Amino acid sequence: IRDAARTVASREPALLLLNGDAVSKEGLRLAHRIAAKTGAHLAAPTFNTKLARGRGRYPLERIPYIVDLALAKYAGIKHLILVGAGEPVTFFAYPRKPSFSTPSDAKVHMLARPEDDLVDALARLADELNCPDVVLPEGPRPALAQGRMTVEGAAATLSALMPTHAIVVDEGITLRDPFFNATANGPPHDWLGNIGGAIGGGLPLATGAAIAEPTRRVITLTGDGSAMYAVQALWTQAREQLDVTTIILSNRKYAVLYRELEGVGAQPGPTVKDLFGLDRPNLDWVAMSKSMGVEAARADTLERLADLLRKSFSTPGPFLIELPLE
């Protein structure tokens, strides 16, 4: 505690990397007290199991997935203070690029390990620094978007309509950031994710969350490729009549594989494009969903998406919406 207090009190650029209970509602309140007093930066790892988000919760950014963006964002950081997190590493090893997402010369301090009482550690640090309470920063809730379907418009529309205390399951992969950004000023909600490298966990995770919290609406954001790994979860949702709204971000390809191919400096050829594609034949998500007992529809415009979200959120049971996106 005293080492961390001396470090952040020195006013040398510092980053508090938070995870676990440190990103709960109370943990974030304490972290923002520390940041306001000392000027320290706050962030969560790229992948986290659960974040408390929305109005009434203090905001928190995530370390960018792409190492170049992360290094640019945190250039100049001299101290990395870990609170329930490990040092931020890149997802893969990329040629001629570092494996850590923060400057190599930053000194690492361990305030608390994942198994420790993270909220208590932050409270002790805040008390050691005599940090006052800070006003909760809140911006306006996004308004409904209109017109042709875009990921940014879909994200704003979801944030405008999502119910209070929803559970958002994030497996949006390459399209997750617009939804994460837009929902920062949405109603209070919990944001669930996957800290591993596998894809396909979104639909099962949403199913489990709906069983565990039957009074809350679960909203799943998942790519079409990811959803195909465990599509049978829809059948379970229908059998158990779970309140899950599944949003399929349908770009008809494994876009994340293209990103990783670019990351290692390779160029996709005809074989790669065939392998990474989700066509030949195209997936019919509405037909698949209905065949497993889940009502479904396709939203080609943002107005249609708003209508379908309203219907889903006001009707018990599961519902699937396919969004055609590029």
pLDDT along the chain (326 residues), means of 10: 91 96 97 96 94 95 93 96 94 89 94 97 96 90 93 97 97 92 95 86 97 98 94 98 97 84 86 85 95 98 98 98 91
For position 227, what pLDDT does the model report? 95
CA 5 to chain centre: 30
For position 102, what pLDDT does the model report? 94
pTM for this model (two decimals): 0.93
- Say how far apart CA 260 and CA 32 lie, in whole Å: 34
For position 13, what pLDDT does the model report? 96
For position 205, what pLDDT does the model report? 97
For position 278, what pLDDT does the model report? 85
For position 192, what pLDDT does the model report? 97
Q: What is the DSSP string of 84-149?
A: S----B-SS--TTS-SBSS-TTPEEEEEE-TTS-HHHHHHHHHHHTTPPP-PPP--PPPPPP-SB-
